[in-house]
Structure formats: structure tokens, C-alpha cells
Chain A
Amino acid sequence: MRNFRRILLRRVISLFVTFLLVICINFVLFRMMPGDPLQFMVPSDPKIPDEYKEMLIERYNLDDSMSEQFITYIKGVFTLDFGESFIHKVPAMDYLLDYIPWTLLLVGIASVFMIVIGMLIGILAAWKRGGLFDSGSLAFSLFFYAMPTFWLAMIMVMTFAETWEIFPASRAMGIGEEFEFTLASVKELLSHLVLPVTCLVLVYIATFSLVMRGSLSDVMTEDYITTARSKGLSEKAVLKDHAVPNAMLPMLILIALTVAYIVGGAFMVEYVFEYPGVGWATIDAVNEEDWPVLQAAFFLIAVAVIIANFVSDIVMMYLDPRVELS
């Protein structure tokens, strides 16, 4: 147990260092930008009065030295204050907060589906290795794995939304509708979610099915599986009680590591489907050159991924006490 606590402490420290580095990168990157930040905020138009520019300089502390700016920035980070959005004139974090639930909804539902389905495919494939299902599912997974997420999204819009008109192609709700807790509203929401979720699931399923298959194949060659079989257990019991639990560890590691990739994929999906999530807001911020929002989004996503990694580390330590610091 002492050992456990020591490992945990080291993990916390190293994650904290990672967090600090992220904060620093976030600062340095946005100070590295070419040109005068004022240029981004104010179109070069002589009609704009100098007072306005001075007000901006004042508000964004542009006249401060680099170290003063850094201190202001660090203070801001711990109060989640990244300054005011250039375009929307509200604090950048507040602006993003409206988009977070939508992304959580999309990524959450998609993750559950891709993990469960991917695992099932992997288990079946490993169980009947070399069989028809194995090679079929392998080809299927690799094909979608090689696919640009946004292209699959476009194809889905083309087939299901445009040609057959089964599901709506864009946004999370109908035009001008707000989400309420009524049956009709929930139905509307779900029908809008079908295509984006399916798209994400298809692209990322291979990641899970391939790792599950590999890990289970390894376990199936272990001696204790032979023992279980020779005890006369049914194939199903061997699989369920002996093989699958032992093959789960790599899966858990994978789930944590994939979070970052899924968020990236979600960005593209949100962009194509005009889904009002953090990804859409971020890409919009880049196009509008709204740097405070971009900075806040960068911070938010990094922190989310760091926390996900930490949680998976702890879960893993409980499940497999052998895991040492790697």
C-alpha cells in the first residue's frame, strides 16, 4: 500500500508538470504570433479612433512587459479567465461553456458505443481467429480506420440526409428550437445525433476491436486457459471468466490514450454537421482569429485529457497492482 501511494504521488507530480508545460506552451504559442495583436482586433482602418485602440491596449495589457503578461496570464488560468472574446464580447471561457455540454453528449454517447461494439467485435474475432468473421471484421475495421472522419461525415450527409432524407444533416436541434425536457424535443435531439455519433463510432471502432483482438489472442495462448479448458469448462465460460477479464488491461490503457484522438475526430464531425460543440466553436474561433477563445479551448481540452489520463491511471492501479511506473 505504501508503494501504491508512492506511485500515485509520482503520477500526480508528473501530471502536474505536464499541466504546467501545457500552460506555458499555451502562453508562448500565442505570444509567438506574427505581427501586432492589435491588427487582429482592429481592421486597419484610419477611421477607427485612437482612443479605441488605447482602450484595447489597456484591456488586454498589451503594453506590459512579457513577464508581467505572464503573471497576468497565470492568474487568469487559475481563475479560468482568458480574457474577452474579440468577436462575441463575452469572457472566452463563458462563451465556450455553452458548447461544452453538446460535445460531452456527442463524445460520451459515441464512446460508449465504440467501446462496447469494438470490444464485442474484438472478442468474437479473437475467439474464432482466422475465421470468416475475423478476416471480415478486420477488413471492415481497417477500411473505416483509414477514412478521414470528415469525409465519412460528408458521405453520410449525402446519403442519409440528402438522398434518402432519413436523418437531419446539421445542427443539434431544428432551426430556432431550444432543447426542453419534452418527448418531442428529446426525439428531435436524438434524430440529430444519429449521424454524427454513427460517424465517430465507425471511424474509431477499429482502434478498439484490433487491440481487443490482439490482447485476447495473447491471453488465449496462456497456460491457464488450457487448464480451464481441461477442467471441462464450456468455451463460453472460459472466455467470460478466464480470458476476457485478463485481456481487459490493454483496453483500459487504450481508452485513456484514445480520448485525445476522439476529441480530434469529434472536431471534424462537429464541423461538417455544424454541431454546436467545442470543436465547432474552436474552428470558428480560428477562422475569426478570436485568439482568447482559441486559447481557452486549448486549455480546456488539454485539462480534460490530462484528467482522463489520471483517472485511467488510478483505475489501472486498482485493477492490476503489478503495474509499476513505466
Chain B
Amino acid sequence: MIETNFTFSEPFAERMRLIRKKVAETGRVFKRNRMGMVGLAILIVFAAMAAFPAQIMWVFSTVGGWDYPYGPHDEVASPGTGTDPSWEHWLGTDSRGNDVLARLIYGARISLMIGTLAAAVSMVLGSMVGLLSGFWGGWRDEVLMRVTDVFLVLPWLVLMIVFVAVLPGGPSVTKIVIVIGITGWAGTARIVRTQVLSIKKRAFVERARSVGAGEFHIIRKHIFPNVFPLIFANAILTVALAILSESALSFLGMGAAATVDVTWGNMLEDALGALAMYNGFYLWVIMPGLCIVFLVLGFTFIGYALDEIFNPKLRKR
């Protein structure tokens, strides 16, 4: 190979090659997993909704011959109890006088965003606690695990409600992300810790230690890469839980403000508030919930598929 100024250093290029190979390999196995592919398909649909809501609404408006593509906060009907579905408003309008379909499609963005960000927060927290606790052992492990226990023991919903109530600031997306993030990390910490405990005993960690590698070097270079697949698969499943948590909080009126950020959870809050179930506006109740169910299913499927790939022991099941 001819050395040019632009090539990466040898170890770095080698590492990139290995990572690429691993990703490609995982992709190949993943493609053969039917559950995983269904999950991916579902996710792509919702990702499209989140990325291009205005464009999707434009297509619908052309098909339906509406005056213009409605936005989620446009008052297209007079506020009240809501209206039945019509050619103009396929899913009807809600108590705010907004188009339900528009809110549904725009809602994908915030719901997805809160889900992924909150999962990211809780994964980072959980992995850190799990890695350090498992690696350190001793009294520091004991302390971290007792704290983890507290979060594991307390019902997640109660914990979230209390956090929302006591944290400063009004309802906002950031607050919800933080609340879901700091209440949902305990399970991950437990799983990661168990894995770290078994990896710690392997010979290569001992070897690294014997040549004088520092604590954080061992964690970063030897332990983290080995627990990463587990963390990743777990993160996907956590997103599903975070989406459910968000919808529950929004439903209780403790989530993002419905006038600013549309989520499926606060659409359902509106529906309950306007007693849509009793007034016969069935689609307004059914559709946001179905979106939540399918998005959660999508993430769950992908998570299970990745779990099977990364933990070959499970594959026989």
C-alpha cells in the first residue's frame, strides 16, 4: 500500500475496518431475522412521519382536495367537543379545533424525539453506574447498588410523577426527557453490572492489569467494547419504555404543553378531557394510541432481534 498524506494511521484504519466488518456482519444476520425486519419497517414509516410531516400533509391535502395542508396548531374548526370525520378532516377535529390527522402526523416527531433522547440519558447513566459498580466491586459497588435498588423498587410512574412535580420549571420537552432519563436507568445498570462482573474475570483483563493499565483504560478499552452490544440492544428496548412513559405523563397532563408540542400522549389527554369516548369521536381516541402501540412494537421487535444476534446463547430459544 502506498503511503499518502491522507491515509489514517495504521491502527486506526485497522480498527475502522474491524468495526465496519462487525456492522456488516450484524446487518447480514439482522436481515435474516423476520421480527427485526418488521420492526425496522415500522420504524421507517414513523421516521418518515417525524422527518417530513409537512410534506405528508401536503400529499394528503392534494389527495383530499383540502384548502391547504393543515398544521397541528391551525384552528380549522371552532373549538368545542370536536367534530366527526369528513372529507375535509379525515380523522375529525379535536376540542381545540385542530385537525386530528395533522396532530397525529406532527406528533410523531416529539414522541420519537422524547423517546430516543430519554433512552439515551438513561443508557448513559445506567451504563456508567453499571460499569463502575461492576468494575470497582467492594463498598463502592455496594453503595451504587443500594441506590440502584431504590430506583428499581419504586414504581416508575410514581417516581416520574413526583419528579415532574418537584423539578423546577413548567412542562417542557427537556424536563420530560430528564425525568424519564433519571428514573429509568436502574434496570440497565443492573444488567451491565452483571455482564461486567463476568468479563472482569477473563484473562485479558488480568493481562492488561499486569502490564500496568490504569482503571479507566481497562474500562474503556477492554470492558466497554465487550458490554457495548448488550447496552445497545438494551437501549433500543429502553426507547420503547421511554415512549410509553412519555405518553403516560402527557396523558396525565404532566408532559409537554399541548399548545406548543404535539405528542400522541397529550392528544389522548385532550380526548379524555373532552370525553371523546362518550361523544363518539372514536378515531380521535383510537389513532394516537395505535401509533404508540406500533412504534413501541417496532422498537421492541428490533431490540429482541438485536438481543438474539448479540447474545448467541439466546438464539436457540
| Interface residues of A, Cβ cutoff 8 Å to B | 14, 17-18, 21-22, 25, 29-30, 32-34, 142-143, 145-152, 154-155, 157-158, 162, 214, 217-218, 257, 260-261, 263-265, 267-268, 271-272, 282-283, 286-287, 289, 294, 297-298, 301-302, 305-306, 309
B189 at the interface (CB under 8 A from A): no
Q: Is B278 an interface residue (CB 8 A)?
A: yes
Q: Tell whether B156 is near chain A: CB-to-CB under 8 Å.
A: yes
A interface majority secondary structure: helix
Q: Which of A143, A148, A301, A309 contacts B247 (CB 8 A)?
A: A148
Contact A214 B153 (CB under 8 A): no
Complex CA–CA separation, A86 to B167 (angstroms): 20
* Cα(A73)–Cα(B244), bound, Å: 34
Q: A283-B252, A298-B158 are in contact. Are A151 and B317 (CB under 8 A)?
A: no
Query: Which residue in B278, B292, B294, B317 is a CB contact (below 8 Å) of A214?
Result: B317
Segment at the A interface, from B8-16, B124-132, B142-150: B142-150
Q: Are B251 and A150 in contact (CB under 8 A)?
A: yes
**What sequence of 0s and 1s flags, for each residue 140-173 of chain B, a beta carbon within 8 Å of any chain A beta carbon?**
0000001101101111111001111111110000
Contact A30-B154, Cβ < 8 Å, known A154-B277, A162-B277: no
- Residue pair A260, B156 in contact (C-beta under 8 Å): yes
Do residues B292 and A151 form an inter-chain contact, with CB atoms below 8 A? yes
Interchain CB contact (< 8 A) of A263 among B155, B244, B317: B155
Q: In the assembly, what is the distance between CA of A257 and CA of B149, in Å?
A: 11
User: Which one, A18, A152, A265, A271, contacts B150 given CB within 8 A?
Assistant: A18
Interface residue count on the B side (C-beta < 8 Å)? 46
Binds A, one of B75-83, B98-106, B212-220, B282-290: B282-290
12 new A-B contacts, CB < 8 A, other than A143-B297, A147-B296, A298-B158, are A21-B146, A30-B166, A142-B297, A146-B240, A148-B248, A150-B251, A154-B271, A162-B278, A217-B317, A261-B156, A268-B251, A294-B165
**B180 adjacent to chain A (CB < 8 Å):** no
User: In the complex, are the beta carbons of A260 and B153 less than 8 A apart?
Assistant: yes
Which chain B residue lies CB-closest to A263?
B155
Asked whether A155 lies within 8 Å of B285 as measured between CB atoms, the reply is: yes
A264 near B277 with CB under 8 A, answer: no
Give me 23 A-to-B residue pairs in the complex whose CB atoms sit less than 8 angstroms apart, sorted by A's number. A17-B146, A18-B153, A21-B150, A33-B165, A33-B166, A142-B297, A143-B293, A146-B240, A146-B294, A146-B300, A148-B248, A148-B265, A150-B268, A154-B271, A158-B282, A162-B278, A260-B154, A260-B155, A286-B161, A286-B165, A289-B165, A298-B162, A301-B154
- B28 vs chain A, min Cβ distance (A): 24
Contact partner of A148 among B154, B161, B244, B317, CB < 8 A?
B244
A257 to B165, CA, bound (A): 26
B300: nearest residue on chain A (CB-CB)? A146
A282 CA / B252 CA spacing, docked (Å): 12
Interface centre among B254, B272, B288 (most CB of A within 10 A): B272
Query: Closest CB of chain A to B158's CB: distance in Å?
Result: 5
Q: Give every chain B residue within 8 A of A287 (Cβ-Cβ).
A: 253
**In angstroms, how far is the closest chain A Cβ from the Cβ of B301?**
8
Question: What 9 A-B pairs are tightest by C-beta distance, nearest first?
Answer: A264-B157, A151-B289, A34-B168, A146-B296, A158-B277, A264-B155, A260-B155, A146-B297, A263-B155
Residues of B within 8 A of A265 (CB): 157
Assess A154 versus B150: contact at CB under 8 Å? Given A29-B166, A263-B158: no
Separation of A158 and B278 alpha carbons in the complex (Å) = 7
CA distance A257 to B150 in the complex (A): 12
B203-223 interface (Cβ within 8 A of A):
none
Closest chain A residue to B278, Cβ basis: A162
Docked Cα-Cα span, A29 to B163, in Å, equals: 8
Which residues 156-208 of B sit at the A interface, judged by CB distance below 8 A?
Answer: 156-158, 161-169
Question: What residues of chain A lie closer than 8 Å to B147, measured between beta carbons?
Answer: 21
| Distance between Cα atoms of A306 and B149 in the complex (Å) | 10
